[in-house]
Amino acid sequence: MGVSFDKIDGVSWLKFEIQPAANPASEKDRAAKLKDPGFGRVFTDHMAVVRYNQTEGWHGARIESRANFPLDPAAAVLHYAQEIFEGLKAYKRDDGGVNLFRPDANARRFRNSAERMAMAPLPEPVFIEAVEQLVRIDRAWIPGGEGSLYLRPFMVASEIFLGVKPSAEYIFAVIASPVGSYFKGGPAPVSIWVSENYTRAAIGGTGAVKCGGNYAASLRAQAEAIDHGCDQVVFLDAVERRYIEELGGMNIFFVFDDGSLSTPPLGTILPGITRDSIIALARDSGTRVREEPYTVGQWRADAASGKLKEAFACGTAAVISPIGKVCSASGDFLVSGGAAGPIAMGMRKKLVDIQYGRAPDPHDWIRKVL
Ligand SMILES: *Cc1c(COP(=O)(O)O)cnc(C)c1O
């Protein structure tokens, strides 16, 4: 590949130098911002940064004041979009402690994303350490109640060079954003638009990795959804253009009248950690879960016949969003009469209770940071 990664292994000793912010937000300022943080607009005082170059490997691990990055105008990411990211949350428990949910799975996926994008893979222990250190230093920013601290690890190609090749330098960073409950007053069912003009992923492409480019390419389809009065877009497969893949940033499940669940198989979709957790929890309780292709035509027919009871989208940010209505160029149809279904809502509660430490954690998913 032309990139030497041989310095990477054995850096799990990488120690973070901690340099607390000189001018953190005042308590009053923070309280005002935490009152109604919304999603992704309020940020904490610090960030984690680790750098990579070919001579030093991963180095310069720091927790420092959140600030601008100096980026040369010729930095590779600004031209060829070598960028990947993750999303996970820190949850405040009733006892005042703090949980992370499956950060090892995010670290593994981040490493897989790096490999697909020909970027230097970050050792998983360094990813987890960066996240934990940031949560500890910014713990005062973690909202109570149904809020959480959204963590955004990401990596950009920073080499100054306009040639098309994998960058020889990278910046890995983690920033944090307190978020309120995604839905005020409980999850409202979303309406989704079936995109027939655009696809998000083909076999051999980047659909299964969390790279910014996938999102850039989905925005036009999402705008089309909004134009048609829908909340979200759902993509079909790129070959036959009839199998349901996923939403712009969430996976999808279907609930049938025999109690079984089905979800599109891995391959071109993003392997969601929420998706994986739902499959595990459903199987724990004896529910049959199929990972199999499902066409939009079948969805319409099953909704009409009553065979399909519910559909829901899932991801870290919103946990579970019931789908109430499906719109497409060939007409609209309702799912569970347009209301939030009991299976979606029950699964949501199950997952959220584990995340906040209110229910037992049979799969060892919780990592207590504080
Ligand atoms: C992040 C993401 C998801 C959800 O993944 P989680 O690990 O459950 O948060 C689903 N689809 C896409 C395209 C994503 O980027």
Q: How do 148-157 and 83-85 pair as beta strands? A: antiparallel
Mutate to test the pocket of ligand 1, among 100, 210, 215 (most ligand atoms within 8 A of CB): 210
Expressed in angstroms and rounded, the spacing between residue 249 Cα and the centre of ligand 1 is: 5
Q: 12 near 127, Cβ under 8 Å? A: no
pLDDT value at residue 347: 98
One-letter amino acid identity for 45? Answer: D
pLDDT value at residue 184: 64
Ranges of each domain in the chain? 5-179, 190-355
Task: Domain 190-355: give its CATH superfamily.
Answer: D-amino Acid Aminotransferase, subunit A, domain 2 (3.20.10.10)
The answer to whether the 5-179 and 190-355 domains have the same CATH topology is no
Burial level of 369, CB count in 10 A (0-12/13-18/19+)? buried
Number of C-beta neighbours around residue 294 at 10 A: 20
Q: For domain 5-179, give the CATH number.
A: 3.30.470.10
Q: 20 near 46, Cβ under 8 Å? A: yes
Give me the DSSP letters along 281-293. Answer: HHHHTT--EEE--
pLDDT value at residue 151: 98
180's tokens: 């309120």
Q: Ligand 1, closest atom to CA 248? A: 13
pLDDT value at residue 5: 41
The model carries a pTM of 0.96
Separation of alpha carbons 352 and 320, rounded Å: 10
The reply to whether ligand 1 has any atom less than 6 angstroms from the CB of 222 is no
The reply to whether ligand 1 has any atom less than 6 angstroms from the CB of 273 is yes
pLDDT in tens, 63-85: 999 999 999 999 999 999 999 99
The reply to whether ligand 1 has any atom less than 6 angstroms from the CB of 355 is no
pLDDT value at residue 4: 37
Going from the first residue of the chain to its last (370 residues), give the mean pLDDT of each consecutive group of 10, the final group possibly shorter. 43 81 97 94 98 95 96 98 98 97 98 98 96 98 95 98 97 97 77 97 97 97 97 97 97 98 98 98 98 98 98 96 96 96 97 98 98
Separation of alpha carbons 141 and 357, rounded Å: 19
Strand partners, 366: 101
Nearest Cα residue to atom 5 of ligand 1:
272
pLDDT value at residue 181: 80
The reply to whether ligand 1 has any atom less than 6 angstroms from the CB of 102 is no
